[in-house]
Amino acid sequence: MVPLIGIEEEYLVVDPRTRHVAPRAADVLAAVTDVLDVVHEITRFQVEARTPPSADLCELGSQLRTVRKEVARAARSCGLAVVASGIPVLGDVASPPLTDETRYLRGRIRYRALQDEITICALHVHVDVPDPEYAVYVGNHLRPWLPMLIALAANSPFFAGRDTGYASWRVISWGRWPVSGAPPYFSSFEDYELALRALAESGALLDPKTVYWDTRPSPSLPTVEVRAADVPLDVIDSLTLIGLVRGLVVTALAAIGRGDKGLPVPSEVVRAAYWRAARDGLLGDSLDMRNGALVPAPVLAGRLLEHVRPALAEAGDLAFVEEGLDRLLRNGSGAMRQRRVHAKGNDLADVVDDLIEATVA
């Protein structure tokens, strides 16, 4: 049976005149139709859209296009716009205005200046799994592939008016948090539970939702949540990533059923692979953690496709994901597009204008 998928995409609210992020998420949410599941996020610069669960990539694509167009329409009705970018291109974002919710205000006290760069937007993919123990072992299997997902989805090269030199500054900024990035390798579910208890005792966790690893058992749903990717610039890239993620989860579930709990790659190696993927995206070499060798990022993307090919074929996604991955490798990531636009006129306002258009194209 093909697992159901649920999607969360986060977008930034911007002023189309200044091109700066605008703390007016509440205005956009008030203008969104009631039939859509669009909610606030931690800062008033962001909104989050959620899709109902579906096993069909085409249906998910239709839902994402509908929600992006409706959120953009709601923003326009308020004299605003929304963009799919991993981090703000322009604007004064430190310290960001938090959404008026007790939990977020408690986080300000707990995490302090870590929240200065919390205005980040990601793609979260929920895939049905049998239980939380399976979700933990799925995380073991996905760890070697998470940097490749980061490189494919990289869409945050500019931050608050400057080129960071990275393809995904969101990943680097987010990696400062005490429970973020790739999860550790867990040889048993008991080890996972012991780690969570120790993290809670240390004060690193505000609540179960602050287990911010890039794969985790969802704290509220019967899913594994994969959250390594920047929000992609367009829906086709989102769907390509979503198809790859489900393929990885299905492939991992089959291996777990055979008693394979995943390759225990050292956390330091995974961290280094994250850094390379976030810095270079698709333009540099990526670390194939199965053999410890650097290879061009498109080569590793091809190996990822081969790894999940049987799962994609079983779900009926193979042709779509093959075409989407080929398109992404030919056209480049969102980060590459942002830099191409900037290179034409050396003006970050042009980058924001292009993001506004591409988000709903």
Q: Rounded to 10 degrees, what is the CA torsion of 269, 271, 277, 280? A: -100
Which token pair is 26?
């509440």
Enumerate the H helices of 179-317 as residue ranges: 189-202, 235-257, 267-280, 297-315
User: Rounded to an integer, what is the distance from CA 157 to the centroid of its chain?
Assistant: 15
| Cα gap 90→156, rounded to integer Å | 12
pLDDT for the residue 221: 86
**Per-residue tens of pLDDT for the chain, all 361 residues:** 899 999 999 999 999 999 999 999 999 999 998 778 999 898 999 999 999 999 999 999 999 999 999 999 999 999 999 999 999 999 999 888 888 888 888 888 888 988 888 999 999 999 999 999 999 999 999 999 999 999 999 999 999 999 999 999 999 999 999 999 999 999 999 999 999 999 999 999 988 889 999 999 998 889 999 999 999 999 999 999 999 999 999 999 999 999 999 999 999 999 999 999 999 999 999 999 999 999 999 999 999 999 999 999 999 999 999 999 999 999 999 999 999 999 999 999 999 999 999 999 8
Q: Which residues contact 108 (CB under 8 A, 6 or more apart)?
A: 98, 115
pLDDT for the residue 169: 98
- What does the angle CA 211 – CA 212 – CA 218 come to, to the nearest 5 degrees? 65
Give the burial string for 300-316 (b: 16+ CB within 10 Å, else e): bbeebbebbeebbeebe
Pairing of β 223-230 and β 37-40:
unpaired
CA R_g for the chain = 19
Going by C-alpha positions, the residue among 64, 35, 38 that lies closest to residue 243 is 64
Which token pair is 332?
């480049």
Domains defined for the chain, CATH in brackets: 5-359 (3.30.590.20)
| Cα gap 219→209, rounded to integer Å | 6
Task: Break the chain down into helix, strand, coil percent, rounded to 5.
Answer: 50, 15, 30
Q: At 79, which amino acid appears?
A: G
Q: Are the CB atoms for 303 and 123 separated by under 8 Å?
A: no
Instruction: Please tell me what DSSP assigns to residue 175.
Output: T
Going by C-alpha positions, the residue among 41, 132, 22 that lies closest to residue 356 is 22
Which token pair is 96?
């960001």
Q: Give the DSSP per-residue string, 243-270.
A: HHHHHHHHHHHHHHHTT-------HHHH
pLDDT for the residue 131: 93
The length of the chain is 361
| Cα gap 154→279, rounded to integer Å | 9
| Cα gap 169→58, rounded to integer Å | 30
Q: Are the CB atoms for 54 and 60 separated by under 8 Å?
A: yes
pLDDT for the residue 10: 98
